[in-house]
Structure 1
Amino acid sequence: MSAPRPRRSALFLPASNARAIEKARTLPSDVVILDLEDAVAPEQKQAARAAAIAAAQAGGFGERELVLRINGLDSEWAADDLAALDGAPFDAVLVPKVSSVADIETVERDTHDLPIWAMIETCRAIPAIGAIAALTEHTRLAAFVIGTNDLAKEMRCRLSPDRAELLPLMSLVLAAGRGWGLTVLDGVHNAIDDDAGLEAVCRQGAAMGFDGKTLIHPRQIATCNAAFSPSPQDIARAQAIVDAFAAPEAAGRGAIRLDGAMVERLHLDDARRVLAIAERAGRPD
């Protein structure tokens, strides 16, 4: 099994902004998402699609994953967006406003080979979330991305700084994703200059178990990467667990005693994941 990729930070960029895309090739985000949907005006959709394909073909993004967010499946641009993906060197396609099993099956049918990332941002998606997550068994569904802005709008809720109004739904999406082995990313933080608020929601998302967070501005990357990276204490503990199970006296045992606590093999699996993420996230920012 290949080591998990760090997806601590996923930066949205308008596909129509050539300067921003060029800068993204040097930024320390783990994922770059070229956006054809919300960030692009209707009259710019075709030009943005062509620019996104050209950027992917030009490459230069290094270890960063390059993802294309298409327009909504019910829009007039979606069919052309999906057709343009054929042969384009993206790492995944991000589908907005996924609300049903049928949405993923449509993208599965109309694209080839690319992993599918689903934005969960509608009320209709919530009761269907288990069935959508289970599509990993026979589709290329690989990730959930929570769209907190759209979800809050549909819920008609006023978000508090701690996002208490959405936490139950976020946990539900996270649990469904984890149950089927999906990557799950937290939603954006809208206030670009709110450093303290950004750090708080990043720490909250990491504590909940999200793999990372979507971002709307490069200045948010460093804070996000720090929050979703294993801490030195996490790494030391993980290494201690791996070393303890590798000792001859632990051979064939399902649980061992370490630093006064019982540690099971399920903790060993998580320790290996932490070390793999730490190693792959260790490139200079």
Structure 2
Amino acid sequence: MPGANARALDKARGLDADVLILDLEDAVAPDAKPQARAQVAAALQAGGYGRRECVARINALDTPWGLDDARALAAAGADAVLLPKVESPAQLDALARAFDAAGAPADLPLWAMCETPLGFLRLDAIAGHPRLAALVVGTSDLVKDLHARHTPGREETLLARSLAVMAARAHGLAALDGVHLDLDDDAGLALACEQGRNQGFDGKTLIHPRQIAAANAAYAPSPGEIAVARKRLQAWRDAQASGQGVAVVDGSLVENLHAREAERVLALAAAIAAA
């Protein structure tokens, strides 16, 4: 949500999204940065966003606005702060120090945008930062830096996206896929959401409210997936109770790893139902 757009910040309170990224960076023109900063801080302090996580994306600390962003948002009530173009853990260290100096909560989570070639090459070190909670893939900047072309199958970012999911899983972080830029391409959006879900991402970043339904449909477990998960988990529990190490459901072997995945799917479905 563009931080300079007060109407968008207010409208966000009614959107069926899980996370709202209140943006001070790319979506805000340089001369509107101070206004956006003040509006985002005021919106966070006013609250009213319900179950939605509110994440503030600030400007990089080496820009004229980054440190002022950190100072203004330190105690504004954001659920996390997203730093763009992260290429090393040192940048996250500097952000943590800036927030600590400004009086931010000691446990304020940091999120990192992965959107440059160097950032992806250093993902393991970045993802291991103790304050980090999520990796957000910035495919638009990455494609530009690679001198690549956007394609329907997104082959140009497949390796980078896979590295992001791998690093997130290795370090216990959330992983969010990049945006789909064409607002009139519903079929392409649905395909991109399905690709990201199949690849292991936890969700997709979006640039317009009209894209929310497609992302929710792709990332929520389907009724069929929920039914299979329940069936497998019950068969696994029955097998364990009878002293067997495995179960067979509809001709497929069910082991411990399948039971754990079934538990994850059912927990996700329950969280969505509760929301």
TM-score (norm 1): 0.90
Residue 98 of structure 1 aligns with an amino acid whose one-letter code is V
Whether 2:202 is the aligned partner of 1:211: answer yes
Q: CA deviation at 1:274?
A: 0.9
Q: CA deviation at 1:244?
A: 2.3
Partner of 2:222: 231
CA spacing shift, 1:34–1:252, aligned 2, 3 Å: farther
Deviations 1:123-153 (A, max 9, x none): 1112211111122xxx220110000000011
Q: Count residues with an aligned counterpart.
A: 269
Q: CA deviation at 1:204?
A: 0.8
Q: CA deviation at 1:97?
A: 0.2
Partner of 2:135: 144
Describe the SS at the equivalent of 2:11. Answer: helix
- Normalized per residue, which structure has more helix? 2
Q: Give the Cα–Cα distance (whole angstroms) in 1 for the partners of residues 158 and 11 of structure 2.
A: 34
Bigger mean CA deviation after superposition, 80-89 or 158-167: 80-89
List, as ranges, runs of 4+ consecutive aligned residues in structure 1 with deviation greater than 6 Å.
Answer: none
Whether 2:128 is the aligned partner of 1:134: answer yes
Partner of 1:59: 47
Residue 85 of structure 1 aligns with an amino acid whose one-letter code is L
Q: Give the Cα–Cα distance (whole angstroms) in 1 for the partners of residues 134 and 29 of structure 2.
A: 26
Residue 223 of structure 2 aligns with an amino acid whose one-letter code is P
Residue 218 of structure 1 aligns with an amino acid whose one-letter code is P
Structure 1 unmatched ranges of 5 or more = 1-12
Q: CA deviation at 1:246?
A: 3.1
Q: Given the alignment, which residue of 119, 122, 130 partners 2:113?
A: 119
Q: Give the Cα–Cα distance (whole angstroms) in 1 for the partners of residues 121 and 190 of structure 2.
A: 30
Whether 2:51 is the aligned partner of 1:30: answer no
Describe the SS at the equivalent of 1:87. Answer: coil
CA RMSD in angstroms comes to 1.6
Q: Give the Cα–Cα distance (whole angstroms) in 2 for the partners of residues 251 and 85 of structure 1.
A: 56
Whether 2:168 is the aligned partner of 1:177: answer yes
Q: Give the Cα–Cα distance (whole angstroms) in 1 for the partners of residues 110 and 162 of structure 2.
A: 21
Whether 2:85 is the aligned partner of 1:97: answer yes
Whether 2:230 is the aligned partner of 1:242: answer no
TM-score (norm 2): 0.93
Q: Give the Cα–Cα distance (whole angstroms) in 2 for the partners of residues 169 and 153 of structure 1.
A: 13
Q: Give the Cα–Cα distance (whole angstroms) in 1 for the partners of residues 244 and 77 of structure 2.
A: 45
Describe the SS at the equivalent of 1:143. Answer: strand
Q: CA deviation at 1:86?
A: 2.1
Q: Identity rate of aligned residues, in percent?
A: 52
CA spacing shift, 1:21–1:257, aligned 2, 3 Å: same
* More relative contact order, 1 or 2 (CA 8 Å, 6+ apart): 1
Q: Give the Cα–Cα distance (whole angstroms) in 2 for the partners of residues 128 and 192 of structure 1.
A: 32
Describe the SS at the equivalent of 1:165. Answer: helix
Whether 2:254 is the aligned partner of 1:263: answer yes
Residue 151 of structure 1 aligns with an amino acid whose one-letter code is L
Whether 2:147 is the aligned partner of 1:156: answer yes
Q: Give the Cα–Cα distance (whole angstroms) in 2 for the partners of residues 231 and 145 of structure 1.
A: 24
CA spacing shift, 1:123–1:263, aligned 2, 3 Å: same
Matches within 5 A, 1:33-48: 33-48=21-36
Structure 2 unmatched ranges of 5 or more = 100-105
Q: Give the Cα–Cα distance (whole angstroms) in 2 for the partners of residues 110 and 278 of structure 1.
A: 38
Residue 272 of structure 1 aligns with an amino acid whose one-letter code is E
